[in-house]
Amino acid sequence: MASDKSVYEKIVFVTGNPGKFTEIQEILAAVSITAIQNKGDYPEIQADDLEPIAAASAKAAAEDLQIPVLVDDSGIFIRALNGFPGPYSRFVEDHLGNPRVLKLMENETDRSACFKTVVAFCEPGRSPVTFTGTVEGKIAFEERGNGGFGFDPIFDYNGKTFGELGSEFKNTISHRRRALDKFIEWVKKQ
């Protein structure tokens, strides 16, 4: 890895998702890392786990842009649905949305779920490094709250949905925060 710490002062975060970018930007700013958004659309491999998807996307973006990049792949894994939608969360969000996910859960007594994020960092010509964060919760019975994005209004964490928590608190406990904390610790050792 590059020994010049300045490579980590500004990180290009590749995403077209404004909610993800805002969260990443706020979390990294707290440790004096500036996130710069690149809305590039890179091919995403199909896999049952987030790690290989994030790693492949980071590698493709780093090679294409010829700069170090950070990529995030996230999903909600619902136990009663055998981990669905998992790595297909974005597709499900775009084509079904929260109301239909709640319909799928209508008669389920086990409402446990976890949010998972994998951030992958890659420099051109190098192998990607991945960092995983998870947070346990459950699927609410209805959408609650106007904050966040995606599945946040149906993911209940200790009695409140991520949509109700507000970004300041959510960014202290979220799956994305936990993955980024691991990335930040790794950066400090470089």
At 164, the amino acid letter reads E
Domain total of the chain: 1
In CATH, what number is assigned to the domain containing residue 49? Answer: 3.90.950.10
Q: Are 152 and 145 in contact (CB under 8 A)?
A: yes
152 flagged as catalytic: no
Q: How confident is the model at residue 6, as a pLDDT?
A: 54
Is a pLDDT exceeding 50 seen at residue 56?
Answer: yes
What amino acid is encoded at 185 in this protein?
E
Domain that holds residue 113: 5-189
Digit-coded pLDDT (tens) for 130-178 = 999 999 999 999 999 998 889 999 999 999 999 999 888 998 999 999 9
Highest mean pLDDT among 23-32, 43-52, 59-68, 130-139: 130-139
Flag whether the pTM goes above 0.75: yes
Given the residues 4, 41, 48, 73, select the one marked as catalytic.
Answer: 73
- List the strands of the sheet with 129-139, edge to edge: 34-38, 10-14, 69-78, 112-122, 129-139, 155-157, 160-161
Give the residue from 151, 155, 160 showing the smallest Cα distance to 136: 155
